[in-house]
Amino acid sequence: MDDFIPSIHEYIRKNQHRLTQPPNATNGPKRYERMEVVPLPEPLPLKLSLAEALEQRKSRKEFSGTPVSLSALSSLLYYAAHKSGSGRRPYPSGGGLYPIEIYVISFTVENCERILLHYEPDTHVLRQLWKLPDDASPSSYVKINGDASPTAVIVCTAAWDRSAQKYRDFAYVLSLLEAGHLSQNILIVSEALSLATCPLGALNDDVIITLLDVDSAMEQPVSVIVLGNRFLK
């Protein structure tokens, strides 16, 4: 074990060459065009400045259990991940290929109860994919305290092939870095919206992959964040 992590690190760093002309490289996002669109309301003004949000940010594992409004979810996704008219997103991506996809496992989001959603950053819409299993709970997908009641679980997946066409094995490092940048955006914006969020490292990969119905050789979950309303003071 002592040599395991350093050897992987050394291997990836030595192989971070890129292709001169990557074949058919795309920058996403995935499209579920046959699925119903969830139109999102205009984003709400943020309640805190960046300095205040950074100062107050902390992981919050206690949730009121009340539904998060669609306006709040729209605002969170817009400020954290929306693609602007100039083609830019509010976080960096190696080669501008954006391999990270955003899914929302919704339990009690307003008008989106117990359904899996996919976010399109360029159009700022959610797509309803399919209903959650009847026996599904947040603890089905992440290891969280049994009495915690988050409204949703945000899952970031890495579509490895999107970056690997250009960066080969180094795509692994770049995808994890991008997931971190995006996750930090979500956490800071959540603080500015007075939402409760907590990033979790312990996730049930196989269960999530089955729910998302993705090819695990090409796309895997790399980051999860539980989301909900705070208790009213």
- CA proximity to 221, closest of 135, 108, 116, 95: 116
Structure confidence at residue 11 (pLDDT): 63
Please tell me which residue, 102 or 86, carries the higher pLDDT value. 102
One-letter identity of residue 164: A
Structure confidence at residue 12 (pLDDT): 61
> How much is the pTM?
0.88
Structure confidence at residue 101 (pLDDT): 95
119 by Cβ neighbours in 10 Å (0-12 / 13-18 / 19+) ranks as: buried
119-149 pLDDT, tens per residue? Answer: 999 899 999 999 999 988 888 888 877 667 8
153-178 pLDDT, tens per residue? Answer: 999 999 988 888 888 788 888 899 99
The yes-or-no verdict on residue 64 having pLDDT over 80 is: yes
Q: What is the SS3 assignment for 53?
A: helix
Residue 22 banded pLDDT, cuts 50, 70, 90: low
The yes-or-no verdict on residue 80 having pLDDT over 90 is: yes
